[in-house]
Structures are given as C-alpha cells and as structure tokens.
Amino acid sequence: MLLSKACVYGIRASLFLAARDAKGYISIRQMGEKLDISPHFLTKILQQLTEDGLLESYKGPNGGVRLTRSGEEITIMEIVKAIDGDKLLTECALGLPGCGVQKPCPIHEKWADAREGIRKMLEGTTLKEMAKKGKDLDLRLTADGGFDID
C-alpha cells in the first residue's frame, strides 16, 4: 500500500476540516463518528498533525481541533510527511541498503520517475481544492458515502 491507514485517516480528517464552513473547533469524537474511524485512534493520529503544526487543538467543552492555516495552503504532502514520513519519496523501491545515486539499483531511475508523479500529486493537491471538488460533485468522504459535513 502506498499510504498507511493512519495516513489515510489523517487525510480524510483534514479534508473534513477543510470542507467545514464553520471556523471553530470540532471534537475528534464527532469527526470519528462521521468518518467511521475509531475516535481514540483518530486522536492519536491527529496528535501527530498537531505536533507538526498543521492542526491546533483546544481542550474542554466546545474544544477540539482545527486547521492552523487555510485549506488553500495545505497540501496532502504535508499530511503524508507528518504521519508516514518521507520514506515513500526518498527510499528505493527495492529497499536495498545504500542504494543511491552513486550506486543505484537497477530500477532506481525508473522508480525515480514514477515517484516524481506521486510527489507532484501530493504536492499539487491542496485540501481546499479537494474539498471544493468533493462538495460540488458530492463525492465520497464520510462513512455514508457522501460529502455532508455538518
């Protein structure tokens, strides 16, 4: 699999946040229910995004999490890096120790090309853009198969 489940959950939750019109905090429990992700697990995942500065959290009643920056400025790449790291974009596809530019493995170059495609996709896609498309076309995000946020 390209992305870990934790990473996918993180993306979906971030997308959910970007799609919300409301600016305030929303609780992770609520999000978990909407997205059909265990709230406890989601808490763990979003903690990483908070540590990385992508989200900010607030405790107590009416607390929760929200995006620190506008959805236009946040790419999926940032979320992937925060959760899965950047091994997807740096590591050799055959995982040979020490494979690099000096002494590459036989598919190093071809894989580098394919990887660039992935990088472009991740870097070239903002949360807002995805959220807008999702809302306009009523695409699939939440557990019920729709894009209803509120």
CA angle 44, 49, 52 (to 5 degrees): 130
Nearest to 10 by CA among 41, 53, 46, 38: 46
Number of chain residues interacting with a copy of itself (CB under 8 A)? 43
In angstroms, what is the minimal distance from the CB of 5 to a copy of itself?
7
Q: Exactly one of 59, 62, 113, 150 binds a copy of itself (CB under 8 A); which one?
A: 113
Which residues touch 111 (CB under 8 Å, ≥6 apart)? 92, 93
* From the list DNA, a copy of itself, none, partner contacted by residue 125 (C-beta under 5 to 8 A by kind): a copy of itself
Contacts with DNA in 59-98 (CB under 7 A)? 59-65
Q: Report what 57 binds from DNA, a copy of itself, none; CB cut-off 5-8 Å by kind.
A: DNA
Residue 21 near which of DNA, a copy of itself, none (CB within 5-8 Å, type-dependent):
none
Query: How far is it, in rounded angstroms, from Cα 43 to Cα 36?
Result: 13
Contact 96, 106 (CB under 8 A): no
Query: Do 73 and 1 form a contact (C-beta atoms < 8 A)?
Result: no
37 is an interface residue for a copy of itself by CB under 8 A: no
The residue ranges that bind DNA (CB under 7 A) are 4-6, 9, 25-29, 38-41, 43-44, 46-47, 50-51, 57-65
